[in-house]
Amino acid sequence: MRTTRVLRVNPHEPEREAIAEAAEVIRAGGLVAFPTETVYGLGADALNERAVRRIFEVKGRPPDNPIIVHVADKDSIYLLAAEVPPAAEELISRFWPGPLTLVLKRTELVPPITCGGLETVAVRMPAHRVALDLIRESGVPIAAPSANLSGSPSPTTAEHVLRDLGGRIEMVLDGGPTEIGVESTVIDLTVDPPELLRPGGVPVEEIEGVLGRVSVTEAARGLGSFSGRPRSPGMKYRHYAPRCRVVLVEGDPVSVRRKVAELVAELTSQGKRVGVLALDGAEYPGAEVIDLGPRSDLRRVARSLFTSIRELDERGVDVIVAEGVEERGLGLAIMNRLRKASGGETIRA
Ligand code: TXA
Ligand code: MG
């Protein structure tokens, strides 16, 4: 057990001393959790095999699940990726810095452990001053998965990070709550047509606006279990799940509300404590309700999604019932996370 140092930083103008200290930890092969615009990342020197191995250890992450490499400038892609097709350059110029991760063939510079043994590397340039300053000051690309225990909801505050990883990592840079609240969109450009591996902060419709067709599989929607080798190893594991049971209700808003009310009545009559992730201010007497916001403002819904799941879990409910949204724009990422949190327990209203 070690003590985890927590340094508060101004997210818009990070204190230079804090960044310098954190960069020192990274260069020495240590682990620093830091804010990005999506969620907090657990960073290590991406080129240091031993440092990256510790990421897997402290998260309890399966070794075949590769880690995203974070860079502080667009040109770093040429050091990490052996082939950068025009499609990648277009996406980079349109969406970087930002919540978009590109999967490309890797160069020899990137150690296999960082890429889960694959021949590809996932790269992204985050849109957050703390992340960018840390990468620059460290002088190396930073490998960073979400800074949670493997399988639990991704952290959107430094407190979440400490709850999962406190005492196991050297440092947390606390830059306050993250802006987007769900992780980056991951897109594989080594296949034709490009394939969405994980919906995230950049809606797939916007990527299609640049690339034309993008393949969106059932797995990317968070549906189904699949046999064989998934294209993105991360897709096969249960994810984003609190300790308690999660039930997702899908359908049109009116039917969803009716079904959720029915479930709340049924479960509470069995003596269960029920939490609801509600939308549009819906009320459910007898349940612990957190309103994620209006369906018309999915940015707000995404921002509070993980923190609300953690909150209900901590209040000790037995079951969380979640209202579903339409799979459009950020709705695709939100539904992917909710389906995975529910472990497939989805009801069509
Ligand atoms: O927003 C984010 O992407 C955050 C912040 C910290 O940047 N990071 C993040 O990392 O969510 P992680 O490790 O929790 O999720 C990375 C996802 C996993 O599903 C992983 O399997 C996939 O990206 N991935 C990484 N490298 C890959 C590769 N070479 N090929 C296919 N999938 C890859
Ligand atoms: Mg993760």
| DSSP string for 109-145 | TS-GGGGTT-SEEEEE--S-HHHHHHHHHHTS-EE--
Atom of ligand 1 nearest to the CA of 99: 1
What are the domain boundaries of the chain?
5-216, 245-348
For ligand 1, atom 13, name the residue with the nearest CA.
145
For the chain, give the percent of residues with pLDDT over 90.
93
Tell me the angle at which helices 298-314 and 158-165 cross, rounded to the nearest 10 degrees. 40
User: Strands, DSSP E only, in the chain?
Assistant: 5-8, 32-35, 40-45, 69-70, 100-105, 120-124, 142-143, 171-174, 185-188, 195-198, 215-216, 245-250, 274-278, 288-291, 319-323, 346-348
Atom of ligand 1 nearest to the CA of 42: 6
* pLDDT tens, residue by residue, 141-186: 999 999 999 989 999 999 999 999 999 999 999 999 999 999 999 9
Q: Is the CB of 234 under 6 A from ligand 1?
A: yes
Q: What angle do CA 333, 335, 339 make, to 5 degrees?
A: 120
Q: Which of 71, 186, 191 to mutate to test the pocket of ligand 1 (most atoms within 8 A of CB)?
A: 186
- Residue 11: pLDDT band by 50, 70, 90 thresholds? very high
Coil/strand/helix, residue 20: helix
Atom of ligand 1 nearest to the CA of 40: 6
The CATH class given to the 5-216 domain equals alpha beta
For ligand 1, atom 19, name the residue with the nearest CA.
234
Question: Which numbered ligand comes closest to the C-alpha of 128?
Answer: 1
Atom of ligand 1 nearest to the CA of 121: 29
For ligand 1, atom 30, name the residue with the nearest CA.
232
- Of the CA atoms within 13 Å of residue 244, those in its CB half-sphere come to 21
Q: Is the CB of 183 under 6 A from ligand 1?
A: yes
* pLDDT tens, residue by residue, 202-245: 999 999 999 999 999 999 999 976 444 455 666 655 677 778 89
For ligand 1, atom 21, name the residue with the nearest CA.
234
Residue 342 has pLDDT above 80, yes or no: yes
CATH architecture, domain defined by 245-348? 3-Layer(aba) Sandwich (3.40)
Q: Is the CB of 144 under 6 A from ligand 1?
A: yes
* pLDDT tens, residue by residue, 71-107: 999 999 999 999 999 999 999 999 999 999 999 999 9
